[in-house]
Amino acid sequence: MKRKMQPIQVYVSSIVDAPIDKVWSVVRDFNALPKWHPAITESQIEAGREISAVGCIRRFTLASGAKIREQLLALSDIEHRLTYAIIESDVGLLDYVGTMELLPVTDGDRTFVAWSAIFRTQPGEEDAKAKMVDEDVFVSGFEALKARLGRK
């Protein structure tokens, strides 16, 4: 009997010391990862689509040289939330769907940011891939947002 792989869930949240509109203006641009995330060296939207059009596909390169293609599944300027899926990857993440959501923190005009993903990977790689998404993607992304947008 073949054992079914259980999905892996990763959730990280943080506070950025900047107003929600300022944070959202950076993260809603589906092609802007190289401008704020340290792991991304280049990105482009395929087929000349608009940068935040639902259905558009971004192709980007990691500092390691790995390539990833992601599709924007949903974007809401009202809810300050975007959802995307990896459709092709050199990093071993399967059926990956990620969501980033922002909420205003009215005490100090700051922003609560939550980034989550659910995915599968090859058996035996679950812990390593969960740690990679947690630390190398989410935590490092939050630290970069804080450095870029936080009040001095």
Domains of the chain, residue spans = 8-149
- In this predicted structure, the answer to whether residue 151 has a pLDDT above a threshold of 90 is no
For the stretch 107-122, pLDDT in tens is 999 999 999 999 999 9
Side-by-side strand order, sheet with 67-76: 8-16, 110-120, 94-105, 81-89, 67-76, 57-62, 40-45
The one-letter code for the residue type at 102 is L
The verdict on pTM exceeding 0.85 is yes
Under CATH, domain 8-149 is a member of which superfamily?
START domain (3.30.530.20)
Task: Find out whether 130 and 10 touch, Cβ atoms under 8 Å.
Answer: yes
Strand 8-16 relative to strand 110-120, pairing: antiparallel
- Count the neighbouring beta carbons within 10 Å of the beta carbon of residue 71: 18
Q: Tens digits of per-residue pLDDT, 121-131?
A: 999 999 999 99
